[in-house]
Chain A
Amino acid sequence: MIIDGKTYPYANARRVEDLKVEHLMICAKCHLPQLKYAEDSVAVELAKLVLSAAEGDEKALEKVKQLNINCLICHQEVAIVHKWRDGFVDRSAVYGKTEGFHPDPKYGKLKKSPIIDRAVFCGQCHGLGPNFEFPHPSQCATAYGSYLHAYIPSGGTKTCQDCHMREDNLGHFMPAYRDKRMAKKAVDYSVEVIPYSYLHKPGVYHNKARVVVKMTNKAGHRIPDG
C-alpha cells in the first residue's frame, strides 16, 4: 500500500526497493522493535520476504516466522521506561524483577526493571492510540488507553500482569481471547426470556418472546481491543 504511489504519495516510496526502515517502523515499533537498529537494506529484504510469503512461498514464510518478540525485547529493549530516572538500557544485562546473576555468557547480569510488573510496561506496545511520533501515525492496539481512561476511572485496580500472567498461573503464555479461561473471566452475562402476548388492538394479540441479555465487561480494557 505504501508503494502504490497513490495512497501515500509523499512517502517517497514507489517500489519495494525504495522502502526504508522508517516506513516499516510504523508497524515494527511494536511488532519487531529490533528493526530500528537495522540498515535500510534490511527493510527491503524483509518487505520482499513478507510479500513472497503472502504469495504462498513456504520458505519465505518460515523465515518470516523466525522474526518475533523474543525474550530480549521485553527483558531488555523495553525494560526501562523512565530512562532519566532509572538509566538507559544496559546491553550486557537482562531485566527482571530482581538484581543478580543471569546464567548466560553474553548477558550475565540480571538487573531490576522497576516497572516490569506494571501496566505501563505492557502499555508501551499495547497502545494509547495513534503513534504521533511518526510522520505518518499508525494505530493498532489501544488497550492501554482504554485501561487508563475507562478501567482505572471505573475503580479498577488490577494490572495487565495480574489477569494475563499471575491469575491461573498463566505465566509467559499471556493468553487473551483464544483462551476459554480468559473468555470466561472477561464477560459476565445473563439471558432472560419471557413470553407474552401484546394486545395490538381489541381482540388481536401478537405473541412474542422478549429476550433480555446483559453483558458486563470484567476485563481491564474494552472488548475487543489488543
Chain B
Amino acid sequence: MTPDGKKVFEDYKVYMPMAAGWDRDNRMMFGADRKTGYMVDTSLQPGKTVKEVVEIPFPEGVKKMKVSVRLWYLPTSPAENLDQLEEDEDKFLFFAEEKEVSLP
C-alpha cells in the first residue's frame, strides 16, 4: 500500500492437503465420502519452515510502501473471498505483520 492508501499489490498462497475425488483423475474434491489419500500436500508440515519470497515493484514515483502479511485459517471458505469473510467466524488470524519499506 502506498502512503496515500492505494493498494498496489496483492497475492495469496494456499497451504492445505488436497485429495483427488475417489483417488482418480487428479481432480481435487472436498467431502469425506470422496477422499482416500492425498495427491498434493502444500500444508505446513510439523517442525518444518516454509520460506516465501515475494517481490513487489514500487509504482512510478512512489518511494515508500506499507507491506502487510497475514496468515489466515479458513475452515470452509475459499481464499479469494477473504475480505467478505467474518473474522473469528469464517476466518481465523494466525499472525499479522506490517512493515514500512522506503527506498534510500
A-B contact pairs, 23 of them (CB 8 A): A129-B37, A138-B33, A146-B45, A183-B95, A187-B94, A193-B101, A194-B101, A195-B104, A207-B103, A208-B56, A209-B56, A209-B65, A210-B54, A210-B55, A213-B51, A213-B53, A214-B49, A214-B52, A215-B49, A216-B49, A218-B46, A222-B46, A223-B15
- B36 → A minimal CB distance (Å): 4
- A4 → B minimal CB distance (Å): 12
Question: A interface, how many residues as a size bin?
Answer: 35 or more
Proximity bits, A186-226, B CB within 8 Å = 1, else 0: 11010111110100000000111111111111111111110
User: Of residues 14 to 60 in B, which have CB atoms within 8 Å of A's CB atoms?
Assistant: 15-17, 19, 31-33, 35-38, 41, 43-58
**In the docked arrangement, what's the CA distance between A223 and B99, Å?**
25
Main secondary structure of the interface of A (DSSP, over half): mixed
Which of A130, A207, A218, A221 is the one whose CB lies under 8 Å from B36? A130
Determine whether B97 belongs to the interface, using a CB cutoff of 8 Å to chain A.
yes
Asked whether A195 lies within 8 Å of B101 as measured between CB atoms, the reply is yes
Known: A194-B101, A212-B53, A213-B69. 15 other contacts (CB 8 A): A27-B32, A140-B32, A187-B95, A197-B103, A207-B58, A207-B103, A208-B58, A209-B55, A209-B101, A211-B53, A213-B54, A221-B46, A222-B43, A223-B43, A224-B73
- B98 → A minimal CB distance (Å): 9
**In the docked arrangement, what's the CA distance between A87 and B100, Å?**
63
**In the docked arrangement, what's the CA distance between A130 and B34, Å?**
10
**10 shortest A-B CB distances, which residue pairs?**
A154-B47, A207-B58, A151-B46, A130-B36, A217-B44, A139-B35, A140-B32, A222-B43, A191-B97, A216-B49
User: Of residues 155 to 175 in A, which have CB atoms within 8 Å of B's CB atoms?
Assistant: 155-156
Determine whether B4 belongs to the interface, using a CB cutoff of 8 Å to chain A.
no
Proximity bits, A81-123, B CB within 8 Å = 1, else 0: 0000000000000000000000000000000000000000000
Residues on B with beta carbons closer than 8 Å to the beta carbon of A192:
99
Residues on A with beta carbons closer than 8 Å to the beta carbon of B99:
191-193, 211
**In the docked arrangement, what's the CA distance between A204 and B91, Å?**
42
Determine whether A54 belongs to the interface, using a CB cutoff of 8 Å to chain B.
no
Residues on B with beta carbons closer than 8 Å to the beta carbon of A151:
46-47
- A219 → B minimal CB distance (Å): 6
- B71 → A minimal CB distance (Å): 7
Residues on A with beta carbons closer than 8 Å to the beta carbon of B15:
223-224
Asked whether A211 lies within 8 Å of B93 as measured between CB atoms, the reply is no
Determine whether B5 belongs to the interface, using a CB cutoff of 8 Å to chain A.
no
- A25 → B minimal CB distance (Å): 12
Determine whether B88 belongs to the interface, using a CB cutoff of 8 Å to chain A.
yes
Residues on A with beta carbons closer than 8 Å to the beta carbon of B78:
none
